[in-house]
Amino acid sequence: MKIVVITGSPHKNGTSAQLAAEFIKGAAEAGNEIYRFDAAFSQVHPCIGCDHCECGKRECVFKDEELKLYPQLIGADLVAFVSPLYYHGLSAQIKAVIDRFHGVDDLIRGGKKAVLLISAADSAPWVTDGVTATYETDLKYLKWQDCGRVLATGCYKPEDLLKTDFRRQAYLLGKSIK
């Protein structure tokens, strides 16, 4: 299976980076092909809704690193979204990448699977409601299937994550993808 992992953290060794690494480790061990796109370390212009792309019929007006992602995204069987929780949603970096999916909407709608891995400082049971609602709505729109989630709450710093089972959960989720 071809997996695209899109990360949204500006912290190379932060909590969501650890979740991404564990997911990738498990997915690779299961024999999957992995392509990782680190949104926070890529130059991606926000979508301006100009519709020049016509949802995949024409090229996007921006010639940036999102264009490297498009062929991988189109060919992917599964997309993993990995982000820290920023104000109850995805980070701005990964959100900009997802907004630019518009440029290939007609080429990626239907038939794909997805997973969500989130790290959050707060441990309140409702803290991830916003991001999960957005994820579910995006999947409904794209006609993609949810294949699992790791919602690592109460993990503000990397050492917090080490005191939990969330890294193992991310690894096992990756391992389950076949």
Please report the pLDDT score of residue 9 as a whole number. 94
Q: Which CATH class is domain 2-176?
A: alpha beta
- Residues (pLDDT < 50) of the chain are none
Please report the pLDDT score of residue 123 as a whole number. 95
Please report the pLDDT score of residue 56 as a whole number. 87
- Measured CA to CA, the distance from residue 159 to residue 26 in angstroms comes to 21
Residue type at 131? V
- Measured CA to CA, the distance from residue 122 to residue 17 in angstroms comes to 18
**pTM of structure:** 0.96
Please report the pLDDT score of residue 149 as a whole number. 98
